[in-house]
Structure 1
Amino acid sequence: MNTAFERQNSIIADGINYEYIYIKSKDDSKPTLLFLHGFPSSFYCWRHQIDYFSKQGYGCLAPNLMGYGKTYSPLDMNEYKTKSMVQHLIALLEHLHLNKVIVLGHDWGVRPAIRFVLYHPERTLGVVLFNSGYRPPAWLDFDKMIQGTRQIFGYELFGYWEFFNSDDAAKIIEDNADRFLDLAYASDPALWKTDLAPLGKVREWVTNKKATTRASYLTDKDYEVMHQCLTEGMQPKLNWYKSALANIDWDDEKNLDYKIKQPVLYIGGTKDCICIPKFFAGQSEHITDLKSVELETSHWTMEENPESVNHEVETWIKHIS
């Protein structure tokens, strides 16, 4: 990431600190973009977008979400309610005197991005979803999800959640960060079909110390940042999975109006073997104004093809402005 991007820290509520990068808009006609990363990333995953859009005059705000960096990272999974995270983001906007933003979410960052617009549509100009599309709030039945994806796609898309929910997963990943990153950022995205997604396979990969060639778009610096992210503590990061499997958001979300009326841009990856675009084919039923784009990438779309991503996002922003 550009070293000119200064990391800041703010107490946004009692005892709750957020670490973030904020570059103020240089053009009053251009909005601020709120970037929400996924797992096991950090605000670093948006480096190409922050560099590009800040130079175009847009405001850029990229927080490390709960569990990452110096941001509030409790070990109690019950603190990882999405509604609480959204309130943290609203408090951060207030701290920075920002009103309306365009929210961009990738992977697990899509969840707070969507809930941001559901809880606070008045603060949102639009939403961009990367790889993971919109599925309305619902009670999660893990066994049913596993069986359903196996029947439709031929393998369990989310079998790795079982490992991430286990008591020993955090230590195993910390102790084998290289092997985990090999698989997460494999040069051959098809490995996710055989060695990440199915039940039991990611544990087998990591503990057997399997290795593969990493994706060519990762520099040594990129890898160093990602490795540090894993080894600084995995349990808070895995709490995103644990809390979802425990359905801790359901009481907050069961009566939400889940129709999204703000403009939405969905960017999927045709080589993504877990967040398969077809899995989100029904999202158009719940979004009034949806544009869908598919790029020839795997799961890390913004990092793999930043030029196309930046073009698609900027074109869409100009269209909705």
Structure 2
Amino acid sequence: MMFKTQNYEVTKGINYEYVYVQANNDLKPTFLFLHGFPSTFYSWRHQIKYFSEQGYGCLAPNLMGYGKTYSPLNKDEYKLKSMVTHLIALLNHLHLNKVIVVGHDWGTAPAIRFVLYNPERTLSLVLISVGYRPPAKMDLDQVLETSKKILGYENFGYWKFFESDDAATIIENNVDSFIDLLFSNNSGEKKINFAPVGKIQEWLMNGQRTIRASYMTEDDYANFRENLLEGMQPKLNWYKAAIENINWDDEKNLDPIIKCPVLFFTGTKDSVCVTALFAGQKQYIADLEVVELEAGHWLMEEKPNEINQGIEHWIKRIG
């Protein structure tokens, strides 16, 4: 589907690019779709089409670092509290009060903070591929050591490459190789050539290619490629910001309990965001439903029907 994009200055000097389809009546809520790395609002194309046809409102911004949204090179500007403030300003601009917040991958970070900072603006929360983890300080080396012990490989080893100063240039210079690996037809490929420390730069420097997943059409591929070539460093700043714990001062006193209903979709073939990592989330969520799909990481693109229908059935259940 073709998206009609709009822009809004959420605060002085900071603009957000977004797609918005208004709900067709007051009884239908609006979804706030937050994409992950290194996607754009385009990754929600199947959901926007489906839910807008059902009469729901759909709001999908490009987050900081993406498209025509404000994309600073300074990692310290990528604070989650600031992003939530930007999203609230966008909702106010569109006269939207409460929304169903939906996040995928990195988009789950601002989605979760949206709920924690503004529970009164939230109807419910949908997390895709990445489940709920309470705000906490991160020690990347400790994370890698623990995952090696538990999983047998470092599922977040690629973070080491993403925080390096030359990562953006290497990705831009080998963009087809990068997309192939992210969207490989072989779900086990990432476990070997993406996740462990040192493997992704090896893949890229050798210009390796593989067969892409069939759900990514030529149009999807062209859109994704153009997005990456607009500049990788702002997108990688999400990782740098997390590694350097720039959110901790804002978040250390946040109540981590989520009081609204939460739906979590997880892919059993996702070797990076492994389902077991989020086993502890139910202690923070009173009303949690978990749906496992036999798929990889890009669930809303690989299994759009299951995601769309799963969300709709759940909305009807929670009323």
**Secondary structure class of the residue paired with 1:260:** coil
Compute the RMSD of aligned alpha carbons. 0.5
Gaps of 5+ in 1: none
Q: What residue number does 1:40 align with?
A: 38
Q: 1:25 aligns with which of 23, 26, 40?
A: 23
Q: Distance in 1 between matches of 2:28 and 2:290?
A: 23
Q: What residue number does 2:161 align with?
A: 163
Structure 2 residue 72 is matched with structure 1 residue 74: yes
Q: Distance in 2 between matches of 1:297 and 1:248?
A: 33
- Structure 1 runs (4+) deviating above 3 angstroms are none
Q: Distance in 1 between matches of 2:29 and 2:173?
A: 42
Q: Distance in 2 between matches of 1:51 and 1:119?
A: 29
Instruction: Give the Å deviation of 1:300.
Output: 0.2
Q: Deviations over 1:77-112 (max 9, x none)?
A: 000000000000000000100000000000000000
Instruction: Give the Å deviation of 1:319.
Output: 1.3
Q: What residue number does 1:13 align with?
A: 11
Q: Distance in 2 between matches of 1:225 and 1:318?
A: 34
Letter matched to residue 143 of structure 2: M
Alignment of 1:54-133 (within 5 A): 54-133=52-131
Q: Deviations over 1:22-68 (max 9, x none)?
A: 00000211100000000010000000000000000000000000000
**Secondary structure class of the residue paired with 1:102:** strand
Letter matched to residue 16 of structure 1: I
Instruction: Give the Å deviation of 1:189.
Output: 1.2
Q: What residue number does 1:203 align with?
A: 201
Q: Distance in 2 between matches of 1:198 and 1:171?
A: 20
Compute the TM-score of the two structures, normalised by the length of structure 1: 0.99
Alignment of 1:1-321 (within 5 A): 2-3=1-2, 5-321=3-319
Letter matched to residue 144 of structure 2: I
Q: Distance in 1 between matches of 2:10 and 2:82?
A: 12
Count of residues paired in the alignment:
319
**Secondary structure class of the residue paired with 1:125:** strand
Percent of paired sites with the same residue:
62
**Secondary structure class of the residue paired with 1:137:** coil
Instruction: Give the Å deviation of 1:128.
Output: 0.1
Letter matched to residue 315 of structure 2: I
Q: Distance in 2 between matches of 1:285 and 1:229?
A: 38
Q: Distance in 2 between matches of 1:101 and 1:276?
A: 28
Compute the TM-score of the two structures, normalised by the length of structure 2: 0.99
